[in-house]
Amino acid sequence: WRKKEHAPQKGMPNGDTIMKYQLAIFDLDGTLLNTLDDLADAANHVLADAGFPVRTTDEVRRFVGNGYRKLIERAVPAGTGEEKINEVLSAFQSYYVNHCAVRTAPYPGVREMLETLTRNGIKVAIVSNKGDAAVKELNELYFGGLVPFAQGECEGVRRKPAPDTVNRVLEKYATDRKDAVYVGDSDVDVETGKNAGMDCISVLWGFRDEEFLKAHGATIFAMDTDELTKLILG
């Protein structure tokens, strides 16, 4: 792993600290927040209402990462028609936005990590395939004032692993992609970094394990938030 070289950053401690990155873009579910229990509860609520079998939390863990529609398509019984899928999806969207912070919590050390990065001049943002309303609500609830920009899935913008939402952040912060890193916990995030032409750090406390991530092209790993902070700061 070759360290990037950058010119000294003005305003940094001692005036001579070299940052590896200027911008860190984070996935949300499985990276900053453990949202699995609330996602599973919401999915099972709408599945039961539709008369479908409920799913285990571990099954839901494997279903998430590609947005709400993919979650519901994977959760409903095989062969379920498009009309019924749309009905269950609509119910899920309505229910989850009002129950997205019941059992959800930041992973240990996450808030402190964001504070450290910000204090050291690193810009931070969130890009997620979760619905935009829930992304913004959860960001404000758990990281209010720390992460100034959070983008979720919205109409007219391709979701990850397409680079569209990441490119929006790069444009907003006028940052070159070589000076930015994407941080996530899934194969979708690895592919997002690749498609955006950026480095990707895979965290190992989320919804996918190291073996799975390596099989999907991940090469840089963080065991905990301290290690992640060091990787970003350089």
119-152: pLDDT as tens digits: 999 999 999 999 999 999 999 999 998 999 999 9
Residues designated as active site? 27
> What are the percentages of helix, strand and coil residues in the chain, rounded to 5?
45, 15, 40
Q: Which helix (H) or strand (E) holds 24?
A: strand 23-26
The answer to whether the beta carbons of residues 194 and 188 sit under 8 Å apart is no
* 224 or 8, which is more confident: 224
Mean pLDDT for all residues in the chain: 92
Alpha helices, DSSP H, located in the chain: 36-49, 57-63, 68-75, 82-97, 110-119, 132-143, 164-172, 187-196, 210-215, 225-233
Confidence (pLDDT) at 145: 87
Q: pLDDT of 175-203, one tens digit each?
A: 999 999 999 999 999 999 999 999 999 99
When pLDDT is cut at 50, 70 and 90, the band that residue 18 belongs to is low
Query: What is the distance between the alpha carbons of residues 187 and 160, in angstroms, rounded to a whole number?
Result: 10
Q: pLDDT of 78-127, one tens digit each?
A: 999 999 999 999 999 999 999 999 999 999 999 999 999 999 999 999 99
Residue 84, exposed/middle/buried by CB under 10 A (0-12, 13-18, 19+)?
middle
Over its C-alpha atoms, the chain yields an Rg (Å, rounded) of 18
Confidence (pLDDT) at 155: 87
Residue 227, exposed/middle/buried by CB under 10 A (0-12, 13-18, 19+)?
middle
Average pLDDT over residues 21-25: 98
